[in-house]
Structure 1
Amino acid sequence: MREAGQLALSMFGTDVRQWIKGASSPVSDADIATNELVERRLRGATPDYGWLSEESADEPARLGKRRVWIVDPIDGTRSYLAGRNDWCVSVALVEDAAPVLAAVFAPVSDEFFFAARGQGTTLNGVTVHAATGTALDFARVAGPKPLVERLAASKEITLHPRIGSLALRLCRVAHGALDAAFAGGQSRDWDLAAAHLIVQEADGNMTALSGDPILYNSPDVTHGILVAAGRDRHADIVTQFRADQHS
């Protein structure tokens, strides 16, 4: 992960070739180079595991594997290409549809989040925890404004500045920098899997707005609206959204 982050950083701020894939998703030579490094190292070490990456052609063989690497070589490519620091390398190992090992590395700010199932979350080697309680300070909530405003009712709110990388936005919950973070619809496995475990192991929770669990390595890797927060605050937010749906 550190090697991949350093490679991406070495190309950061340079005139890298970039293009658009699909409808509007930017990609660059830095994404591809970082992806190739991570794939070479991880698949070389674990040839029997499956592979799912934003920058690799999908291999249906992954669906038959119990363990699968899920990778976003540069999460927040728009931020990367704009010269901002809110991008990262994100890698998770998923076993039976749930992440068991995760790392998210933001090279510009030198933040390395790491989690292993049942072993807690660290940031640069120091154990971290999500913020406790149920109160919502909207300056410490990140995500799409219309979504957050549903929680705020009629109150005027000041939102936390946008964080370009979704993985990094979610990881900010794990060390208490944010009270809660939302992912709008259309996020993918590679945006979420590593941050999910990092939040979970930091005494937080991350689910669909309904409270339903997030499952990985399915044929369709797209997800709906999600929320991450400390456990009590997460439960309270899910309850509020459920009540809002039924009112």
Structure 2
Amino acid sequence: MIHESDEALAERLATAAGVILLSLQASGEFEGKALGNAGDARANAMLMHELRTARPDDAILSEEEKDSVTRCSFSRVWVVDPLDGTREYSEGRSDWAVHVALAVDGVPTVGAVALPGLGLTLTSGAPKPLAPANVPPKMLVSRTRPAAEAVFVAEKMGAELLGMGSAGAKAMAVVRGEADIYLHTGGQYEWDNCAPAAVAAAAGLHVSRVDGSPLVYNCANPYLPDLLICRKEFAAEALRLAAEFVAAE
């Protein structure tokens, strides 16, 4: 039997979860918040079953599972968000995602981000060349609550603000060339950004915390409040301006 690589496993499972979510959405069985809850549960059940079967010796951190710090004793941990952007999914929008990632010794090593509403799955195993930068640069922010820090940085850089839903959708918009900078300071967890970070890093983008330090995964507390994913030519200025905003507060 041919062993399935970590990259292929992540891509297969993220895509399959997307199929489940699209089918549920189309069924009309649920609406609104109930649709999001059902989608989270069904996608998570499949992902947990498949990961435990395919990688029984690895740990798993999922938004939809009860967490245990025993995972911190594992070198390899799968970090999963079965439905990133529940609100957007429930509203029938396309800016939601499925995240399946593998962190090895705290490093986001393998990632797949499915964008089922767009029929795409982007992976760390098959990065595509980056498109040319947008002129002026485009900066992604929450469509409902843009962070003051991101707005400040965008104004200083002369960047155009682009509102979008889930973290995965925003990060992949940078990978796909629709935008250039994703600066987030509003609070996230490891499952919100591990797969996007892995895919973005493999594509050749800058990936870090907003203070420039590395993103570290499989921590006892999975809260990971901020990140910067952007084209490398914008990284130094974005980090400098973010620090300037913090110093002025």
Q: Same fold (TM over 0.5)?
A: yes
Matched, 1:65 2:78: no
Q: CA deviation at 1:154?
A: 7.1
Question: TM-score, normalization: structure 1?
Answer: 0.84
- Change over 3 Å in CA distance of 1:47–1:130 after alignment to 2: farther
| Change in CA separation of 1:131 and 1:215 when aligned onto 2, cut-off 3 Å | farther
Offset at residue 70 of structure 1 (A): 0.4
After superposition, the Cα gap between the structure-2 partners of 1:244 and 1:130, relative to the gap in structure 1 and judged at 3 Å, is farther
CA RMSD, Structure 1 to Structure 2 (Å): 2.4
- Residue 219 of structure 2 corresponds to which residue in structure 1? 218
> C-alpha displacement at 1:61, in angstroms?
1.9
Gaps of 5+ in 2: 1-12
* DSSP-derived class of the 1:72 partner: strand
Give distance in 1, aligned partners of 2:158 and 2:107.
38
Inter-partner Cα distance in structure 2 for 1:131 and 1:61: 44
Percent of residue pairs bearing the same amino acid type = 27
Structure 2 equivalent of residue 189 of structure 1: 190
Query: Alpha-carbon deviation of 1:220?
Result: 0.9
Cα deviation code 1:147-175 (max 9, x no counterpart): 23212457997521x22111110111112
Task: After TM superposition, list the pairs within 5 Å mapping 1:35-184 onto structure 2.
Answer: 35-116=44-125, 121-122=126-127, 127-129=128-130, 131=132, 137=137, 140-143=138-141, 144-153=146-155, 158-160=160-162, 162-184=163-185
Cα distance in structure 1, aligned partners of 2:191 and 2:56: 20
Q: Which 4+ residue blocks in structure 1 deviate beyond 3 angstroms?
A: 17-20, 130-133, 152-158, 243-247
Distance 1:16 1:225 in 2: 33
Distance 1:204 1:46 in 2: 29
User: 1:232 offset after TM fit, Å?
Assistant: 2.1
Structure 1, unaligned stretches of length 5 or more? Answer: 21-25
Could you say which structure has the higher strand fraction? 1
Output one character per residue of 1:198-219: Cα deviation in whole Å (capped at 9) or x when no partner: 1111111121111011100101
SS in structure 2 at match of 1:232: helix
